[in-house]
């Protein structure tokens, strides 16, 4: 259950970053950096759980 909750939280964070670029709140470079950070964090957290 922790795994599902973790993935849900991380996916919501990724969606939040994606929505910011569509809304014009951030530029592409910032989007790229934030997206990489979120996805790297997801990978680290998944590895810790496994």
Task: Judge whether 18 and 36 are in contact, CB under 8 Å.
Answer: no
Instruction: Please name the residue that has the structure tokens 């790297």.
Output: 40
Question: Residue 50: pLDDT band by 50, 70, 90 thresholds?
Answer: confident
H-only helix segments in the chain: 2-22, 28-49
Any idea of the CA torsion for 7, 49, 31, 19, to the nearest 10 degrees? 10
What pLDDT is stored for residue 49 in this prediction?
86
What pLDDT is stored for residue 2 in this prediction?
84
Q: What is the pTM of this model?
A: 0.80
Write the pLDDT tens digit of every residue in 1-44. Answer: 688 998 899 999 999 999 999 999 999 999 999 999 999 999 99
């Amino acid at each position: 259950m922790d795994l599902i909750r973790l993935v849900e939280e991380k996916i919501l964070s990724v969606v939040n970053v994606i929505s910011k670029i569509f809304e014009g709140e951030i530029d592409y470079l910032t989007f790229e950096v934030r997206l990489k950070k979120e996805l790297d964090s997801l990978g680290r957290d998944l590895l810790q759980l496994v």
